[in-house]
Structure 1
Amino acid sequence: MEARSGGLPAFFGRVRRAGATTSLDTNDDPEGRWLGLDEVLAVTDVLLPNAAEALAIAAAGAVVSPARDVPGADALERAVEALAGLGPLPVVKNGAAGTLSWADGGLVHVGAPPADPVDTVGAGDSFNAGLLAARLRGLTLRASMRVAAACGSLSTRAAGGTAAQPGWDEVHFP
């Protein structure tokens, strides 16, 4: 959405100066250019790409510094670390494999609850909502990722993007 993305860095900057936090789900760039992403990431607190988007952003060079060579790390883990190097907290959706983040110098992985999906439309949006709701409630990153993974998985129980979205009582972990 190039027509709208140009004003996003300034908007996010105003939001942050007002004391709020920002989050961004990049969606895909079919052309693989990711124009202006580096500017918006500079004022983004939480970055919420899916695995394919995280890999594409890293491969496109939107990442200004390459990830360290982590022994045994796969490409997605290296991409998550590289995205963290840009400043925002990356929380990457990886479908049935769960979610990955990079915090405090290390990889954080949370598996997804088992699911028998009817429809995956909206699962990423439900994931995002769950993560942000958990963070706003003061849960740790790992607990917030568990809530997010549960929200994404549970949302696949019915057709459509909202029919099966879970409520807080279904996903909260003590």
Structure 2
Amino acid sequence: MDCKIRLVPLKLREEGEYRDVPAAGLLCAEIEAHEELLKPVPLTFQNRAGKTRQVEVFFTPRDRGKGTMPTANTYVHYSKKACVAAGLVDAEGKPKYHPHSLRHFFASTALAAGIPIHEVSRWLGHRSVKTTVDIYGHLVPESWGRCRDIVQSALTSAV
């Protein structure tokens, strides 16, 4: 994470593919504080191709030390624990949020604020902007009024 320019590198689908995603200053500060408090743990594992890799992780698998790369379930496990600890639970005591909730929050907030959908699509790692439109298109603000204002302004300044 580069908090000076506030970008977070995220892994894509293929080995060695990454994308940068904008990160809020508040998020950067929280991550930096977490990094100071809890140092990352080196983890050596074999990838699907049988190649040995070492990475540093903040959340390790429950079968710690067995050379298993953290999976989505690892993050779900810690996310549930964090929600419960923070009191973010429903009436039955189950966590209200899931790691994917953060992704939806990011996308819906960006789109509702008028960030171009093709940018949000790239940050989400969608292969096609159609995927983003199908899932989040209803959140894109109507542009009729904005378009009328822009054309009106262009016509007025041209006269």
- The answer to whether TM tops 0.5 is no
Bigger radius of gyration? 2
The TM-score with structure 2 as length reference comes to 0.28
The TM-score with structure 1 as length reference comes to 0.26
Higher relative contact order, structure no. (Cα contacts within 8 Å, ≥ 6 residues apart): 1
Which structure is higher in helix share? 2
